[in-house]
Amino acid sequence: MKILTITLIAVTALTLHSCGINSFNKYSASNEKSKKWIEMEPNQDSVLYIISNYKNGIRNGNAKIFYTDNIVGKGKYKSGLKQGEWLFYKKGVLFRKELFKKGIKTMIEEIENGKVVKSIIITPSY
């Protein structure tokens, strides 16, 4: 399984490169993460990896989260904080939406068969 996962990540990197996205995992002149990055967090039998954009060393823009070879989440960062709608998947099926404002979760929706079955509004206490 580990060899398959490592192979998948290598194929993903080569695919991105062949599509003209060859500036991933680069540092800026000031030694900060810049542009598109692929970051991996291996565990016992699989790998969690995140494809996201960086600006001035801080996550900024679209991000996708994969577990082994399946997308499990996607959303946006603004100045290093989660912002707006984040979508989460199990086996390719949307099961949860979360809303963020300046990195703070403000709402959770649980989804079954494409319909919201539970909605929780979160009021942050500052």
Of the candidates 112, 107, 108, the one whose C-alpha atom is nearest the C-alpha of residue 93 is: 112
Token look-up 């291996």 returns: 42
Does residue 98 lie within any of the structural domains?
Answer: yes
Mind listing the pLDDT tens digit for each residue in 29-69?
888 998 999 998 877 777 889 999 999 999 999 999 998 78
Asked, for residue 34, whether it belongs to a domain, the answer is yes
pLDDT > 90: percent of the chain: 58
Looking at the 3D structure of the chain, how many domains does it have?
A: 1
**What SS3 state is found at 79?**
coil
DSSP 8-state assignment for residue 113: T
Any domain includes 65: yes
How much is the pLDDT for 11? 47
pLDDT category at 126 given cuts 50, 70, 90 is low
Residue 126 lies in a domain: no
State the residue range of the domain holding 34.
Answer: 2-121
Strand partners, 70: 67
**pTM, entire model:** 0.77
- Identify any residues that bridge with 52 across adjacent strands, giving them in sequence order: 37, 63
Does a structural domain hold residue 89? yes
The single residue listed with the structure tokens 């598109």 is 36
